[in-house]
Every structure is written in C-alpha cells, then in structure tokens.
Amino acid sequence: MPAFAGRTLFLTDWCPMGHFEILGDVAGHGVMLSSEVRPHRASTWGRAVTTALNANILYFPHIQISDAGILKSALCVWDTVYRILPESVTPDDSDEVLEAVDCGKLRSIVLSPEDLLAARTSYTEFLNAQEALPAGLAHTDEGDFVPVHEDKMDRVMQQELADVLGTITRAGDWLQLPRGVADGYMLFLSDSVARRRGLSKFTDSESLFVAMQYFEADGNMDADYVLPDMGEDGIASLILNTFVPAGIESASMREVLRFCQANAEGKIAFRTAIHTIATGLVKIDDPNFLRDVAEQEKQRLEEASHLTLARIREHFSGFQPLVIYLGLPLATKVIDALTGNHDYVGQFASVGVAGIVALADIAKSRRKEWVSREASYYCELRRNFDSRSPVPRRSRPLYRMMEEFMND
C-alpha cells in the first residue's frame, strides 16, 4: 500500500416520558470531559476521552441497524446509541428503529474532516508498523467486495487505495473495496469517531469484536497467536449477563423505552459494576486477591440484577438474559484463576472469561495503561442460555476466531 507499501457533544435528550434529561455522569449532573497527553504511539487505537461511566455508546460498523432487537437490548444498558451516518444517506430504517430515532435514543454522527484525517493517519501508521498483515485484513479475493460510502474516507485515502488496488469501482456514492481493506479501515474510522467523542463501541458481530481486540493491542500479538502461558499477559473477554424483557424482539420500541426510563437506576448500577470489575481485573496480578475482589463485585452485579428484574416485572411478564462480552488485557494468572486450570473459557463468581490471544512483549505495558473508556463490547441475545451462568452453553471459542483472523 502506498504509504503502507514501500515501506459535538449532545447534552440533552428527549425521553419517552415526555421531558428532558441530562446525559452524563451517574448522578445525572451532566458530562464533564477531561483531556490527557499521551506519548506518541504508532497507533492511537482506543484512546477515548470520556467519563468513566459513559452512558452512551457507538454502534458499528454498519449504517443501518437491521436487528431492532439488538438496538432495544443495547438501550437496556446504555442511554443513547450513536451510529455513523453520512449526510447524503437516508437509511432504510424499520418503524421500530425510526421510533428510537424520533425519541432521540438513536442518534447519528456526521463525519468531520478531523474524523477522516484521524482515521487515515491511524490506519496508515498502523499498517506501516506491521511486518505482516493478518489474513483478515489482507483478504482481497476477487469478487469479495463490500460497499463503503465515499463520505467515510477523505480524497487522500481514496487516492492511496486506488494507487494500490488500481481503479476503484463505484456505484453512485459507494466505493467497492476488497473486504479486508474495507474492514480494516472501518474499524479505524469507528475508533476515531468514538475516541473524539468519548464513546465506547459495541457491535453485534463476533468476528468484528475479535478483530477489535487485535487493534486495541496495536497489533502486538504473540508470534504464534496462541493463548498466553504463565507469566505472559493476554487479551481475554469478560463475559457478563444482564436481563432484558422476555421477547424483547417482538415488544414495541415504545414499551422498551418506557421500561428503560423506569430502570435508570438498574442501568447505572450495572454499568458501574462493569466499570469496577474491568478496571480492577486489569491491574490485579495476585489470583488469591482476585477472589476477594470478585466476590465483592458479584454482590454488586446481583444488586443491579435485582433492580432490573423488579422493573421488568412492572412492565413485562418475564425476562431473558443478554450476554455482553468486554475485551480486556489481563495477566495470565488472572485468566487462569477465572477460567480454572488455564481453560479457554470458564466462570468465576458472576463473570466468565474467554481467552483470546497472548500479547507480545512489546505490548505488555498496555495492560496497566488500560482504562474503561477504551472498552469495546459485543452484545448478543442468546436463545440457548442458562440465566444462572454468565457463560453461554455453546459459543465459538474466541481464540479460534482470532486464529482465523490472523492466519486463514
């Protein structure tokens, strides 16, 4: 690749109950942003600036949210969902999604020149720093193309890609790009947008969630892309459960939004528990101390569940679990303590952990630097799921998905 080859914050939101509320910290007193100075890195992936308990989140990588159920579920945890929407595009939203738009619970972000510059800079610097690209990004099989709207990359980025790929086919305002190129760029664009607005990110794609962990470690994975051995740090996924109304897919958006408004306290309690667990685990080296911490957080998670279940019973006849994966850099001793005898997935207290990949020596410092505003989530409603355990009965091992991303 050319450079790669030669070597507005919204403070108010209309609620379904018909009044205005301030979005922001857990006390409801608004949002305060702070800035921080970090040394230059080859990649700026994941350096969001936000409050620790951000109530808002960015959905990616698609413009259109085709599954209203996952949008409803996300709103049961976060207050507002954002998506990237070029000004010239009118998404073909369902009536359910449009209702969330009209109510201000699904908002659009229009890309700025600064967003595009940040995405291009991070993407090209990242690629220049890699000796070899993972298979998932180098994937350019003939015929495997995906559309990317031209407003999602600046002219310089388009020209650099054209220099490498040859003529880029267009269909109106849409560029047809090889899947690996498109996926890699869109991950960086999503991160640039989230970072500049202090948003965490979530997706309903397992494969994209795994790819996000690669970027969040600046690509510094172990040469063999295996699970970490004793003494190493690794990337793992924290698995948590919360509850949402049973049959949320078929419940009306208006009903779900009323429930979300009524369950504001439960949402805050759950987000607080996630934040506390995540920031605690990444700094713990002693597996014995971990047990004490996990027991305390188990109580907090249970308290959050009790609040939410009480609200669900006021509005609906039943509940179902929503599984949430959160990517974290962890010490191997902690992974072992959580999963049990270095298994690939296990349960401890009210959380589960799935190992993904070992970090290379160069990235070991990332674990102690990690903060919750760098969070990336994968959310999914599970049909075949035991509500008493955070670990799904059947799920693809994330470490296998990382292996496929790197090598297949």
State how far the alpha carbon of 93 is from the alpha carbons of 75, 96, 138, 150, in Å.
17, 8, 32, 21
Residues 6+ apart with CB under 8 A from 30: 11, 22, 23, 24
Confidence class of residue 255 from pLDDT cuts 50, 70 and 90?
very high
18 pLDDT above the threshold of 70: no
Distance of alpha carbon 387 from alpha carbon 374, whole angstroms? 28
Residues 6+ apart with CB under 8 A from 286: 333
**What is d(CA 353, CA 342) in angstroms, rounded to the nearest whole number?**
11
CB atoms within 10 A of CB 352: 24
**Residue 43 confidence (pLDDT) above 70:** no
Alpha-carbon span 134 to 241, nearest angstrom: 31
Q: What is the mean pLDDT of residues 9-17?
A: 32
Question: Which has more pLDDT, 220 or 278?
Answer: 278
219: alpha, beta or left? (left if phi > 0; alpha if psi -120 to 50): left
pLDDT top residue among 355 and 30: 355
Query: What is the dihedral angle through the alpha carbons of 18, 20, 25, 27, rounded to the nearest 10 degrees?
Result: -80
Residue 26 pLDDT greater than 70, yes or no? no
pLDDT the model gives residue 382: 62
* Residue 153, C-beta contacts closer than 8 angstroms, at least 6 positions apart: 116, 119, 120, 161, 175, 185, 189
In the predicted structure, residue 376 carries a pLDDT above the cut 80: yes
* DSSP-H helix ranges across 198-286: 206-216, 253-262, 264-281
Distance between CA 354 and CA 397 in Å, rounded? 8
For the cut 60, the answer to whether the pLDDT of residue 9 exceeds it is no
The predicted-structure confidence for 299-342, as pLDDT tens digits, reads as follows 888 899 999 999 999 999 898 888 888 888 777 666 666 665 44
For residues 190-202, give the mean pLDDT: 88
CA 25 – CA 54 distance, rounded (Å): 7
What is the rounded average pLDDT for all residues in the chain? 74
Residue 393 pLDDT more than 80? no
| DSSP tag of 328 | E
> H-type helices in 56-200, by residue range?
68-75, 95-102, 113-129, 135-138, 155-165, 179-197
pLDDT value of position 148? 92
Q: What residues contact residue 345 under an 8 Å CB cut-off, 6+ apart?
A: 239, 339, 352, 353, 354, 355, 391, 395, 397
Name the phi and psi angles at 384, rounded to 5: -95, 85
Provide the token pair at 406. 């790197």
DSSP 70: H
Q: Is the pTM of this model over 0.85?
A: no
**pLDDT value at position 323?**
85
- Looking up tokens 């009210």, which residue turns up? 350
